[in-house]
Every structure is written in structure tokens, then in C-alpha cells.
Amino acid sequence: QQQVKQSPQSLIVQKGGISIINCAYENTAFDYFPWYQQFPGKGPALLIAIRPDVSEKKEGRFTISFNKSAKQFSLHIMDSQPGDSATYFCAAMKGGANNLFFGTGTRLTVIP
């Protein structure tokens, strides 16, 4: 059973455009929601993360929007660049737990 559902599976965006990736969860015990970026042949690297007491968090061109009532969160990449082409994973963690639950990933391709 997939604890965190992610869409779309793949995304193609023009350079300078906005990339949007969505995730949804059911378990209300989750209290930490990170996004990871993974390049081919590399391990996942933390991009940005949010807690449910905040509705939005922005770091540079990356923004997480969080809707606690809908149990959804999304990643927005502004001014997308070809170097952003990678696979993005949303994840969730329960308070006091010891592991992350990952989404299935979104392969982003930014066309020059």
C-alpha cells in the first residue's frame, strides 16, 4: 500500500516555466514532509521540507505548498532550468518514527 501518492509520473517543462508536482497522503500521523531530488546514478538529496503547521515554505526557486485539510502538498519549481532535470520524490515521516515513506517519483525534463 502506497502511503504517499505522487503525480505526475513524468513532466516536461520549457526553460523558464513553472514545474508543479503533487503528493497526497492519508496518515494524519505524518508530521514532516520533505522533497528529494535524484540525478541518475546518485542517491536522493534533500531539496526542501515542510511541517504541517506551515502552509507554504520557499527556498530560492523552490516552494512547497501544504494543505493540511486536504492532506496534500506540492512542489513548485519557478523559472525551471535544464539543470533541474531530475527525478523528484516527495516523502513523509511520522513523528518519532525512524523512516521515510517515499512517493513513486516524478521525472522532470526541462527543455532549453
Partner 1 sequence: DAGVTQSPTHLIKTRGQHVTLRCSPISGHKSVSWYQQVLGQGPQFIFQYYEKEERGRGNFPDRFSARQFPNYSSELNVNALLLGDSALYLCASSLRLAGALQAGELFFGEGSRLTVL
**Binding footprint of partner 1, residue count (CB under 8 A):** 24
- Per CB under 8 A, the segment of 14-22, 59-67, 74-82, 97-105 that binds partner 1 is 97-105
Torsion of CA 99, 105, 111, 112, to 10 degrees: 10
> What's the one-letter identity of residue 94?
K
Q: Contact between 102 and partner 1 (CB under 8 A)?
A: yes
- Report the DSSP pairing between strands 106-111 and 10-14: parallel
Which residue, 4 or 110, has its beta carbon nearer to partner 1?
4
Torsion of CA 60, 78, 83, 52, to 10 degrees: 60
- Contact with partner 1 (CB under 8 A): which of 6, 19, 63, 74? 6
User: x/- contact string, 39-58, with partner 1 (CB under 8 A)?
Assistant: --xxxxxx--x---------
